[in-house]
């Protein structure tokens, strides 16, 4: 799939309902609202991603795509955040070098675009772990191709 089409698809979901993760069977469709990993999975299915798609953020981080350096991020890459140290618990999709689209993971909110920022966090207080700050990693979406992988978004 063309990267531009995938980004357009993601941006077409802005203002759709968001929800907090409650189970693997909820948060994956327009009618019930999206949690963050459900939103990513929905977009990949719409884009006809051919391989199995992990349902949870930590599974996307551990088993999906390839890690990339933050300076090499591009539109279409997955961006991961954590409110509990190094273990990712939130995911979004980069729509430019500086902005990403995500489902905030709070019921009553909507899918939105945010700017990536770096901020000093003075304590481990979860309230200060805001998702637009301090990503813990980025991954490029890949397709299994036998022994190797190839980039999904052209």
- State pLDDT tens for residues 21-48: 988 888 898 888 999 999 999 999 999 9
Domain 3-151 bears CATH identifier 3.40.930.10: no
Domain ranges of the chain: 3-151
**Nearest CA to 95 among 117, 116, 72, 75?**
75
pTM of the entire predicted model: 0.91
Over 80: is that where the pLDDT of 133 sits?
no
Q: Which helix (H) or strand (E) holds 58?
A: helix 57-63
In degrees rounded to 5, what are phi and psi of residue 54?
A: -60, 150
Which tokens in the block code for residue 29? 């469709």
Tokens 């977009």 identify what position?
A: 43
In degrees rounded to 5, what are phi and psi of residue 116?
A: -70, 135
* Segment 145-154, tens digit of pLDDT: 888 899 999 9
């Amino acid at each position: 799939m063309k990267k531009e089409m995938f980004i357009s698809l993601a941006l077409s979901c802005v203002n759709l309902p968001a929800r907090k993760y409650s189970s693997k069977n909820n948060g994956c469709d327009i009618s019930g609202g999206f949690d963050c990993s459900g939103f990513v999975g929905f977009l990949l299915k719409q884009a006809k991603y051919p391989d199995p798609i992990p349902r949870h953020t930590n599974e996307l981080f551990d088993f999906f795509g390839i890690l990339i350096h933050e300076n090499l991020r591009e539109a279409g890459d997955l961006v991961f955040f954590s409110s509990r140290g190094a273990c990712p618990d939130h995911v979004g999709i980069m729509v430019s070098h500086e902005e990403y689209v995500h489902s905030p993971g709070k019921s009553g909110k909507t899918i939105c675009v945010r700017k990536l920022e770096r901020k000093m966090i003075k304590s481990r207080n979860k309230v200060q772990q805001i998702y637009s700050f301090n990503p813990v990693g980025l991954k490029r979406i890949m397709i299994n191709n036998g022994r190797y992988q190839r980039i999904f978004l052209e």
